[in-house]
Chains A and B, each alone.
Chain A
Amino acid sequence: MTVIEQALRKPSEVRLIPFLVAGDPDPETTLDLLRLLDEEGVAVVELGVPYSDPLADGPVIQEAATRALSHGMNLSRVLALAKTAREQGVRVPLVLFSYVNPLIQMGFDRFAKTAREAGIDGVIVPDLPVEENEALRTACADHGLDAIPLVAPTSRERVRMIAGQAQGFVYCVSSLGTTGVRDGFSRDVDAFLEEVRRVSPVPTAIGFGISRPEHVRRFSRHADAVVVGSALVRLIGERREALQNPAKREQALAEIRAFVRELKTE
């Protein structure tokens, strides 16, 4: 069992997977946030590699990515950041969320090797469906990274095939659409999650649009973990000036900590 699977099988009611855009608002803050999330006992952290054309993301994450890119963030720097976090004692399993093109440019093998050496445990590539992912899966297998696939409510008969080759966990997309806060979810989600769970050999996580403690609690009954992305990224975005102001930084970090604690409360 990989460390990601172990983390998602630990007995607990709420297993949280927060998502951060690496380098937003700046690399130092990302390091502080990784330490904070580790201390709060989240199950896994998803670290997003900023990209110029994020097809699966809504405006909140897209804008955070644009901010990070404007500071010169790129895949190599994200991997270096992860390495620093590990050196600073961050223990939580780390999953990289990256669009495929930056990985292609680095080369899948070099990527997987560097990522593993930096302490990354798994990778999610939102624009690489199973039909296209063989080369990346091979590289991941060679270097001991989990290749985590996504399933969507529209996957239908594809669910079994996708779950069949999953490593780490299966990432279930809550609803049609891009990342971003949603007001509500259709009732069909629960049945979809139970179906994925039934056919998946690895744990399941649900993400896209989950922003409130009550969402987290609701979905914790039907999935092994819950991803919170845009809501956290938005909070970080709203506090970005405070985070970069030494006089206000501690207060802003405390607010983010409080938000994560509330999400995790059973």
Chain B
Amino acid sequence: MKTQLPLETQVDQNGRYGRFGGRFVPETLMYALNELESAFREAIADPAFHEELRTLLEEYSGRPTPLTYAQRLTEYVGGARLFLKREDLNHTGAHKINNTLGQALLAKRMGKKKLIAETGAGQHGVASATVAALLGMECKVFMGEEDVRRQQLNVFRMELLGAEVVPVRSGTRTLKDATSEAIRHWVTHVEDTFYMIGSVVGPHPYPEMVRTFQRVIGDEARAQFLYREHRLPDHVVACVGGGSNAIGMFAAFLADRDVQLHGVEAAGHGLSTGRHAATLSKGKPGVLHGSFSYLLQDEHGQVIPAHSISAGLDYPGVGPEHAHLKESGRVRYTSVTDEEALDAVRLLCRTEGILPALESAHAVAEAVRLARTLPREQTVLICLSGRGDKDVETIRAEEAKRR
């Protein structure tokens, strides 16, 4: 199956979505990016590659993931009907595995045996370590020292899977710095190393490539929704860190003009506090990690650290396609605070017996807010990007604070 992108977001030959995107990297990497782009184009035109990826997605990760009608949540909210796309039921617990399977197969095709990745919460790191083990490759994961401390369990999981976790001590010691360090490592080892980026960020062709591998979320959800409801959803909601689960979901609906799309960023302590990760709401266009997009930065162009209770949304940048979708008005971007996300965790647990990842809880919170304002015959589809097992310690500590 060849997926066709709607024209208005078709990336141009320089990797631009409107004025966003591009390749702002050291010259040393340009050859590697060109090489990656050709390999990617060849792979997605090759039925054998699709077949191999499809088999792994089905037989290893457990796709297709279900579409769940959230009946008790809907009754509790008392507005539009709410549906969940269950990326939490993937192997390793989040949508990240879709992308790492795709990129690792590409690395294998290119004859590269060494994988590197960056990670914040550890979800992309665990997914990378997992596929490296599966395909017999070496894997190094760069992780900010602060995140290493906060996410001990995921560090242990990665090590158990045979990956080396490299603590990053520069800057804020979080995802932003882990990404910078991974790029610096790649500059040094570009000839034998494949860099697996975990979201639709980074230089061209990464945003396009990761989108292609995540599009399976939206394609499945759209077909499942049509089959079940005989029509399309009225609203689709997804959380936005770098933006890969959101793009994966939105991609299938961009051409359906009647479907309203909502991207939810992390408002942390609140948009006015300066302690948030709401890049599209509060940032300005600039360059981070190889691409021109929205960015949290000061007036001199220095990057400002982000804050969110969910490590996966705690990033001062965002994918360039989202910047374009914001400016073109096709997607509405909004934000949800730490508190609201925590409330949504509890709500989904109690009504549906589903513990969402803190990231996904941002989407749930916005969907509930939206559904309340809508009539009963309308529908809202939520991308439940991952499960909350990884966040239990954080949630417990927050509950203890509240008491």
Q: What residue in chain B is nearest A106 (Cβ atoms)?
A: B301
- Is B302 in contact with A132, judged by CB distance below 8 angstroms? no
Is A30's CB within 8 Å of the partner chain B? no
SS class, residues of chain B in contact with chain A = mixed
- Is B190 in contact with A53, judged by CB distance below 8 angstroms? no
Bound-state Cα–Cα, A162 to B30, Å: 12
Bound-state Cα–Cα, A128 to B287, Å: 10
Bound-state Cα–Cα, A24 to B25, Å: 25
Bound-state Cα–Cα, A58 to B188, Å: 10
Given contacts A66-B170, A176-B190, A178-B187, contact A154 B303 (CB under 8 A): no
Interface 9-residue window, one of A34-42, A97-105, A226-234, A237-245: A97-105
- Is B184 in contact with A178, judged by CB distance below 8 angstroms? yes
Is A213's CB within 8 Å of the partner chain B? no
**What's the minimum C-beta distance from A125 to chain B, rounded to whole angstroms?**
9
Given contacts A127-B287, A154-B31, A176-B188, contact A55 B300 (CB under 8 A): no
**What's the minimum C-beta distance from B297 to chain A, rounded to whole angstroms?**
7
- Is A105 in contact with B14, judged by CB distance below 8 angstroms? no
- Interface size on B, as a range, is 35 or more
Is B200's CB within 8 Å of the partner chain A? no
Given contacts A52-B303, A53-B303, A56-B187, contact A129 B176 (CB under 8 A): no
Given contacts A69-B302, A126-B26, contact A100 B187 (CB under 8 A): no
- Is A178 in contact with B188, judged by CB distance below 8 angstroms? yes
- Is B301 in contact with A150, judged by CB distance below 8 angstroms? no
Q: What residue in chain A is nearest B184 (Cβ atoms)?
A: A178
Residues in A with CB closer than 8 Å to B23 are 129, 131-132
**What's the minimum C-beta distance from B299 to chain A, rounded to whole angstroms?**
7
Bound-state Cα–Cα, A91 to B28, Å: 32
- Is A101 in contact with B30, judged by CB distance below 8 angstroms? no
- Is B24 in contact with A132, judged by CB distance below 8 angstroms? yes
Q: Tell me which residues from 49 to 64 in chain A have a Cβ below 8 Å from any Cβ of chain B.
A: 51-59, 62
**What's the minimum C-beta distance from A175 to chain B, rounded to whole angstroms?**
9
- Is B300 in contact with A100, judged by CB distance below 8 angstroms? no
Q: Per a CB cutoff under 8 Å, which of A75, A76, A100, A106 touches B24?
A: A100
Bound-state Cα–Cα, A178 to B188, Å: 7
Is B275's CB within 8 Å of the partner chain A? no
- Is A129 in contact with B184, judged by CB distance below 8 angstroms? no
- Is B27 in contact with A155, judged by CB distance below 8 angstroms? yes
- Is A127 in contact with B25, judged by CB distance below 8 angstroms? yes
Given contacts A53-B176, A66-B171, contact A129 B187 (CB under 8 A): no
**What's the minimum C-beta distance from B177 to chain A, rounded to whole angstroms?**
8
- Interface size on A, as a range, is 35 or more
Q: What residue in chain A is nearest B288 (Cβ atoms)?
A: A53
Q: What residue in chain B is nearest A127 (Cβ atoms)?
A: B24
Q: Per a CB cutoff under 8 Å, which of A102, A103, A104, A158 touches B30?
A: A158
Is B259's CB within 8 Å of the partner chain A? no
Q: Per a CB cutoff under 8 Å, which of A58, A104, A131, A154 touches B287?
A: A104
Bound-state Cα–Cα, A103 to B28, Å: 21
- Is B289 in contact with A154, judged by CB distance below 8 angstroms? no
Is B191's CB within 8 Å of the partner chain A? yes
Is B18's CB within 8 Å of the partner chain A? no
Is B286's CB within 8 Å of the partner chain A? yes
Is B68's CB within 8 Å of the partner chain A? no
Bound-state Cα–Cα, A23 to B27, Å: 26
Interface centre among B191, B288, B295, B300 (most CB of A within 10 A): B300
Given contacts A52-B171, A53-B303, A176-B189, contact A105 B297 (CB under 8 A): yes
**What's the minimum C-beta distance from B101 to chain A, rounded to whole angstroms?**
27
Is B274's CB within 8 Å of the partner chain A? no
**What's the minimum C-beta distance from A156 to chain B, rounded to whole angstroms?**
6
A-B contact pairs, 17 of them (CB 8 A): A52-B171, A53-B176, A62-B170, A69-B302, A101-B287, A101-B303, A102-B302, A103-B301, A105-B297, A105-B299, A127-B25, A131-B22, A132-B24, A152-B31, A154-B190, A155-B27, A176-B190
Residues of B within 8 A of A (CB): 14, 22-32, 170-171, 176-177, 180, 183-184, 187-191, 284-290, 295, 297, 299-303
15 A-B pairs besides A152-B27, A155-B31 with CB distance below 8 A are A53-B180, A55-B25, A56-B187, A75-B301, A101-B303, A102-B301, A105-B297, A126-B27, A129-B24, A132-B23, A149-B27, A156-B31, A158-B30, A176-B189, A178-B188
